[in-house]
Amino acid sequence: LQDECIEYIKMDERYPSPSWEVIFNLYETFQSGIKLKQVFLYEKPFMRNVNERRLVEFGLLKGILKRLHKYPVASNGTITGSNVTPELQEYIQHQVLDGQHSYD
């Protein structure tokens, strides 16, 4: 699996392949509540010849990473805005923000 991962996520054949330690450390930085953009800005995997998109893709395909979905629920507050009619507010609170619809 390690060799398969290294070959899959390598960005450029002209440069040395990333080590498994580097890849493992990148996967370790993925945590709930931290956005991918934040991880990539901090870790800079492209500097280690790692294709960011393929790193995530491989992790998802092989079960190393798990995608989290967000299901918003309306609170008792009202939705504000100049174009929000009472009908739209009712629809949003009861049809969209019901905890059953993902916004990912």
Confidence (pLDDT) at 96:
67
When pLDDT is cut at 50, 70 and 90, the band that residue 34 belongs to is confident
Q: Each residue of 36-78: pLDDT tens digit?
A: 888 899 899 889 999 999 999 999 999 998 887 766 666 666 5
The DSSP line for 23-64 is HHHHHHH--TT--HHHHHHHH-GGGGTB-HHHHHHHHHHTTS
